[in-house]
C-alpha cells in the first residue's frame, strides 16, 4: 500500500491540475488521496464525519481565502487558511477541534505547488491541535481563478460561562495589540513585486491561540479580535459601531516594524489599515491592562503594547505629536486578494 501511494505521489507531483481532476472519477480520487488525504490524514470513504460529544459550548466559524501570490515570505494560502480559521475561534475564547477544507483549484496549477500548500495547511492544523475532518475539491477552468481558493470552516469549544463581546466594552477600557501591525499586508505587497521593491519582511501569519487562551485568565477581559482585512483601524471602528464608544489610539505606542513602516512611507499606505494574520487585539479594563500586557509578553509576544483607550467620544482618533487626527472608516480596498 505504501509503495503504491509513493508511486501515485511521484506521478502526481509531475502533473498539473486538469478539468478531469474535478470530474469525480479516478483522477479526482488520485488527487484527493495523493495530496489532501496524504497530508491531512482524512477518511475519504465517507460523506460526513461524526463529531464526538464535548464538555463545553461549541463555537463555529467559516471563511474564504484568496491571496496573491499563493506563497509569500512567512506563509502561504494553506497556512493562512488554517491560522485564520483557528484565530477566529481563539478570539472567541474557543480551542479549535475540527476543521473542514474546500479547495477550488484552477486548471493548470502545478500539483507540486498544491502539495506544498496543503502540507502547510496540515502543519498549521497540527500545531493548533485541530483535525481536518471533511473537505471537497472543485476544479475551475483556466482563467476563472487565481490558482487556488480555499474555503474553511472550524468548530471549537469554550467555557459556557465565558463572556466576551462588544457589549461588554466600557469607556476607559484599554486597547492592546499582541505585536507589530501590518506585516502581512506589507509582506504580500513585496512578494507581488508590483512596485519593483525587494526586502526581507515576513508575514506575521501565525496562530494566536495560546496568547488568547492566556488572556482568558485576565479579570476584566472584554473583547478580542484578530485585525485581518482593514487592520487595527477597522477593529477600532467595529468598536465604535458596536458600542457607540470611540477609540483614541496612541501613535507613539503602536508597534510597527521598520520594514513595514518603510514600505508604507514609500507607497503611501497607512500601517493602521494593513491586515495582520497573526496578531490579536484585546480590550480590557484599565486596572488589568498591565496584567494583560504581561501575559501577552510571557506567551511569545515581545512587541505587545497598549495602543489606545476606549472613550465616550463617538469617533476614532489617532493621538500624534502634532495633535489628534480623525481616522475615517475604510471604504476602498487598497490591497485586493490579500487574505
Residue 333 lies in a domain: no
CA–CA distance from 39 to each of 4, 121, 132 (Å)? 16, 8, 10
Q: Same domain for 147 and 256?
A: no
Any residues with CB less than 8 A from the CB of 188 and at least 6 apart, and which? 67, 68, 69, 72, 203, 335, 338
pTM over 0.85: yes
Please report, rounded to a whole number, the percentage of residues in the chain having pLDDT higher than 90: 84
Q: CA-to-CA distance for 31 and 12, rounded, in angstroms?
A: 7
Residue 332 lies in a domain: no
Would you state the pLDDT for residue 45?
A: 81
Would you state the pLDDT for residue 268?
A: 86
Domain count of the chain? Answer: 2
Would you state the pLDDT for residue 294?
A: 98
By residue range, what is the domain housing residue 177?
166-326
Which parts of the chain register pLDDT below 50? none
Would you state the pLDDT for residue 196?
A: 63
Task: Report whether 224 contacts 91 (CB < 8 A).
Answer: yes
Q: Same domain for 152 and 199?
A: no
Answer with the one of 130, 158, 186 that is the final residue of a domain. Answer: 158
How many whole angstroms from its chain centre is CA 337? 14
Amino acid at each position: 500500500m505504501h509503495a503504491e501511494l509513493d508511486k501515485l505521489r511521484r506521478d502526481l507531483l509531475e502533473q498539473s491540475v486538469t478539468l478531469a481532476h474535478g470530474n469525480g472519477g479516478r483522477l479526482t480520487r488520485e488527487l484527493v488521496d495523493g495530496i489532501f488525504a496524504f497530508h491531512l490524514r482524512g477518511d475519504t470513504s465517507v460523506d460526513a464525519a461524526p463529531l464526538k460529544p464535548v464538555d463545553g459550548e461549541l463555537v463555529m466559524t467559516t471563511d474564504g481565502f484568496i491571496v496573491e501570490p499563493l506563497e509569500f515570505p512567512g506563509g502561504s494560502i494553506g497556512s493562512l487558511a488554517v491560522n485564520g480559521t483557528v484565530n477566529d475561534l481563539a478570539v472567541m475564547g474557543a480551542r479549535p477541534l475540527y476543521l473542514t477544507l474546500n479547495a477550488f483549484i484552477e486548471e493548470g496549477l502545478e500539483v507540486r505547488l498544491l502539495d506544498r500548500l496543503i502540507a502547510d495547511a496540515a502543519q498549521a492544523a497540527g500545531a493548533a491541535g485541530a483535525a481536518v475532518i471533511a473537505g471537497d475539491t472543485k476544479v475551475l477552468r483556466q482563467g476563472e481563478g487565481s490558482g487556488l481558493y480555499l474555503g474553511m470552516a472550524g468548530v471549537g469549544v469554550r467555557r459556557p460561562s465565558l463572556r466576551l463581546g462588544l457589549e461588554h466594552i466600557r469607556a476607559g477600557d484599554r486597547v492592546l495589540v499582541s505585536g507589530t501591525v501590518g506585516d502581512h499586508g506589507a509582506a504580500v505587497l513585496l512578494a507581488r513585486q508590483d512596485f519593483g521593491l525587494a526586502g526581507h519582511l515576513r508575514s506575521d501569519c501565525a496562530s494566536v491561540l495560546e496568547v488568547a487562551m492566556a488572556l482568558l485568565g485576565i479579570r476584566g477581559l472584554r473583547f478580542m479580535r484578530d485585525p485581518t482585512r482593514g487592520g487595527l483601524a477597522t477593529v477600532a471602528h467595529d468598536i465604535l459601531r458596536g458600542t457607540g464608544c470611540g477609540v483614541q489610539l496612541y501613535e507613539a505606542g503602536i508597534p510597527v516594524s521598520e520594514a513595514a513602516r518603510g514600505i508604507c512611507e514609500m507607497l503611501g499606505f497607512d500601517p493602521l489599515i494593513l491586515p495582520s494574520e497573526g496578531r490579536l487585539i484585546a480590550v480590557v479594563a484599565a486596572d488589568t491592562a498591565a496584567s494583560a500586557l504581561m501575559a501577552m509578553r510571557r506567551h511569545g509576544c515581545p512587541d505587545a503594547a497598549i495602543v489606545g483607550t476606549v472613550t465616550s467620544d463617538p469617533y476614532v482618533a489617532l493621538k500624534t505629536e502634532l495633535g489628534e487626527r480623525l481616522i475615517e472608516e475604510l471604504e476602498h480596498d487598497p490591497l485586493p486578494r490579500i487574505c
